[in-house]
Copies of this chain bind each other. A is one copy, B any other.
Amino acid sequence: MELYVERGFEQTTVAEIARRAGLTERTFFRHYADKREVLFWGAGALQELIVKTLASAPDSAAPIDAVAAALEAAGALIQEGGDRPRKRQDVIAANAELQERELIKMATLASAIAGALRERGVPDPAASLAAEAGIAVFRVAFERWINDPAQGDLPAVIRQSLDELKAVTAGS
**Which A residues are within 8 Å of any B CB, using their own CB?**
62-65, 100, 103-104, 107, 125-126, 128-130, 132-133, 135-137, 139-140, 143-144, 161, 164-172
Contacts and interface: CB of A to CB of B under 8 A. Distances in A.
A140 B166 CA distance: 18
A170 B166 contact: yes
A157 to B, nearest CB: 10
A171 B64 contact: yes
A169 B166 contact: yes
B64 A129 contact: no
A164 B100 contact: no
B139 A132 contact: yes
Given A62-B171, A130-B168, A171-B62, A125 B144 contact: yes
A41 to B, nearest CB: 20
Q: Which of A100, A161, A168 has the most chain B CB atoms closer than 10 A to its own CB? A: A168
Given A62-B171, A125-B140, A129-B168, 14 more contacts: A62-B172, A64-B169, A64-B171, A65-B171, A103-B107, A125-B161, A128-B140, A128-B143, A129-B140, A129-B164, A129-B165, A133-B136, A135-B136, A166-B169
Given A63-B168, A169-B165, A170-B166, A137 B129 contact: yes
Contacts of A63: 168
27 contacts: A62-B172, A64-B168, A64-B171, A65-B171, A100-B104, A103-B103, A103-B104, A125-B140, A125-B144, A125-B161, A126-B164, A129-B136, A129-B137, A129-B161, A129-B168, A130-B168, A132-B136, A132-B139, A133-B133, A133-B169, A135-B136, A136-B136, A165-B169, A166-B169, A166-B170, A169-B169, A169-B170
